[in-house]
Structure formats: C-alpha cells, structure tokens
Amino acid sequence: MSVLSGSIIVSDWHRFPDSKDFFGRILHKKRRRKFGLLEAPMMPPNMNVDTVRYKVFISGKTGVGKSSLAARLAGLDLPKVHYETTGAVTLSTFKGIDTTVVFWPVRLKESGRVLFFRFEFWDCGESAMRRFDHMLPSCKEQVDAILFLFSFTDRGSFEDLSNQISRITEPSDRVVKLVVGTKFDLFMHTDVTESDVTQFQEVWGLSVFRVGGDVSAGLGEVAPLLNALAENLWYQDCIAASSVSISPKADLRETDSEIIV
C-alpha cells in the first residue's frame, strides 16, 4: 500500500519560498544540476541537513521509457532516439546497467526537518537482463524501491504489469512499489483508459503516476513522483526502525521514528 500523499512530507514544497535555498542546491542557471555517482550538492556548514540514500530499480520492457524516465527525473534532456541501454557510456556503469543519481530535498511535516534524498536509479536493458542472469539479482540487491513501468501507448505493457510485479517481487519483500505510466503526452493514442488505471489501483493498492512530454515544466513536473518515492521510503524506514533494533541506517531511523509513528 502506498502512503497517502502529503501525510508525512510537505507536498509541493518546491513552490514554497522557504524551499528556495534547498532546491537552489540542485539547480544551476534554472536548470537541474547533474550529479555523478560521487558528487553531492554543496551545503553550507550552517545548513543542518542529512542525506538519506536509496536504490531504486526501474523495471519494464524495452522501449517502455525506462531510460527516458531516469533522464526526466534527473532533469536532463530526454534521449530522442531509442537505443537499448548498453551501459557503455559512463564510468559509473557496468555492462547493461545505467545508474542515475538524483538529489531531492524534502521537508518533513511534523518536525519541519529538511532531508536530502539521494536516489540512485538503476536502469537495466531488458535484453541485457535476459542474456546475463546476474543482472536482475544485482538490480534487486538491497533495492529500496521499484518503479514498474507501462506505456499508455502499449496496452500489452499495462496488461503485463501484474506479471511483472509478481515475477520481480515477493509479497514479503520490504520494497516500495510505485507504478508509472509513460508516454501520457500521447494520450490521443492511448490504449489504456482512466477506468483501467483506477481499477488497477484498487486491486493492487498501488499508486499510478503519469509522465510524458518534455521536461521544460521543471520541478513541478517531477515533484509528484519524487515526493511520493521519498514519502513511501521514509515511511518504510520508520516502520522498519520500530520493529528492528539494529540496521545499517539505524542511527537515522531511530531518531526519526518517533516523529511520525
């Protein structure tokens, strides 16, 4: 089940004046700053913000829009032509897997505390995944969240969602699951109706996000999905902290669990 949007963090915080200093850290000349695997936003010493790190796997068949979604969330220009993700382009990748780092500031509602979320999006080409059996396990290893993609222009990809979810996850997995419908800008050609989406949400208890179009809309365009990811991950951590006493992120989880639980 997804957390009700806006119950733990301030929704649309990017619109509030008090967020300007924080979002300024991920912008450069009004565009998004690009972060490599080892880079992080510059913080002045008097700005007391913690960074929490999460690994997010982007799942979906070839051509559904995985690489485009990663680029979109990072605020980068979208790749115009489709090419199968080979991972050959940057040092931070190994064959078949691309990683994209996205920083996103969030204000917790109760305490007013600001956190920087560092999402590492893992995007594996499907044919690479088929060829190399180690791909799926390494994408899934210590994964905190999975984005399940379908395309609004491909009904098959929507109908395959339940297969995809049960193939990749076990009901007992402690993983945040969100569903993203891509190519919503091509709604004139849509193969998936509003009632299909509503019904899916009811049956699975998962939120469906719609993306599409160019990234010129800025922060507002990616905020709903990034905020939902942050909110669900934070909630998952707080639940974990209240049931498990020792965990890698225990120091952070313990101090914060009382805030919202």
Ligand X SMILES: Nc1nc2c(ncn2[C@@H]2O[C@H](COP(=O)(O)OP(=O)(O)O)[C@@H](O)[C@H]2O)c(=O)[nH]1
Residue 212 binds: one of Mg ion, ligand X, none (C-beta under 5 to 8 A by kind): ligand X
Provide the 3-class DSSP secondary structure of residue 215: helix
Residue 185 binds: one of Mg ion, ligand X, none (C-beta under 5 to 8 A by kind): ligand X
Q: For 174, phi and psi rounded to 5 degrees? A: -95, 80
Distance CA 224, CA 250 (A): 27
Q: Which is nearer to ligand X, 65 or 105 (CB)?
A: 65
Query: Which of 185, 193, 205, 244: binder of ligand X (CB under 6 A)?
Result: 185
Provide the 3-class DSSP secondary structure of residue 7: coil
Contacts of 100 (CB under 8 A, 6+ apart): 70, 71, 73, 74, 120, 121, 123
Query: Which of 67, 164, 207, 232: binder of Mg ion (CB under 5 A)?
Result: 67
Least gap, CB of 60 to ligand X (angstroms)? 6
Strand partners, 89: none
Residue 41 binds: one of ligand X, Mg ion, none (C-beta under 5 to 8 A by kind): none
Determine, following the binding rule CB under 6 A, whether residue 96 of this chain makes contact with ligand X: no
Least gap, CB of 82 to Mg ion (angstroms)? 8
Give the β-pairing of 145-151 and 176-182.
Answer: parallel
CB of 197 closer than 8 Å to CB of 227: no
Within 121-180, the residues that bind ligand X by CB under 6 A are: none
Determine, following the binding rule CB under 6 A, whether residue 32 of this chain makes contact with ligand X: no
Distance CA 79, CA 185 (A): 16
Binding site for ligand X (CB under 6 A): 60, 62-68, 78-82, 85, 182-183, 185-186, 211-212
Binding site for Mg ion (CB under 5 A): 66-67, 85
